[in-house]
Structure 1
Amino acid sequence: MKLAEALVLRADAARRLEQLRARVVGNARYQEGETPAEDAGSLLAQARQVCAELESLIRRINRTNSAARLGEGTMTDALARRDALRLRHGVVTAAADAAAGRDQRGGGRQLRSELMFLPALPVAELRAEADQLAREIRELDVSIQRTNWEVDLLD
């Protein structure tokens, strides 16, 4: 099985677990004289099974990511780099938006006697930096996805 397939299975297992959790909670109590829609004990057993499957997948995915080479490092290194780039992009974009006044209501001044707000940061430079970060994220994502489909999942 390829790493990409395991990632799809992991996402599916996480969704199934969340659905089972909601069903267990919805059927954990019922009114006297009524019958619950589903057997909460059986649902809980299914949830335990899915948790075990999920744990196994996560272990194998993590083991594979640590061993798989991507560029000069490992897949784990690339994932950490992508996460850091996304965080940086978010900060730079938020700073540019704030400096440009995008978070202000009403836009500019209504009267000449009102105070005028000036940007404390170079908005154009921040936008250019955000664009460069977005490009790096896209390129790294492509490399990660390619590797996901090339690498076999480790046991």
Structure 2
Amino acid sequence: MQRKMVEKKQRMTLDKLAMITQQQFLDIQEIMATKEDLKYFATKEDLKYFATKEDLKYFATKEDLKYFATKEDLNQQREDIIQDVRLMHADVIQSNDKVITKLDILLKEHAAHTMAHKRIDGTLFEHNKRIKKIEEKVI
């Protein structure tokens, strides 16, 4: 046989009601703001410096802001600029490579030309000596 536990309902007395009400007031009092707490809230004087509805009419609307670039637009534009600069940089390097190649060829030709002149000058100097000796013998 099962026993049923029957709880006996207790009657609400005036004293119990007073205690419950008192406890609820104490609970509310703990979370309620004090005069000291309210000193840190904005005053009417503080609120004078905030924008009014009339002031906000002169600010940009969502419709106005549609014409401005978004973060995505700016990031895409940044990436495009970086890509363009990289391409230009590659073109400059290729151009410089061509110039350096030509300069290298010219420097080598100049060095060869200078060496040829030195040889010719040396040979000419030797010829001048020989001619002077021959002239001295003839005279």
Same fold (TM over 0.5): no
- Which category describes the TM-score, using the shorter chain as reference length? under 0.3
Q: Which has the higher contact order (CA 8 A, sep 6+)?
A: 1
**Which structure has greater helix proportion?**
2
| TM-score normalized with structure 2 length | 0.25
Q: TM-score, normalised by structure 1?
A: 0.23
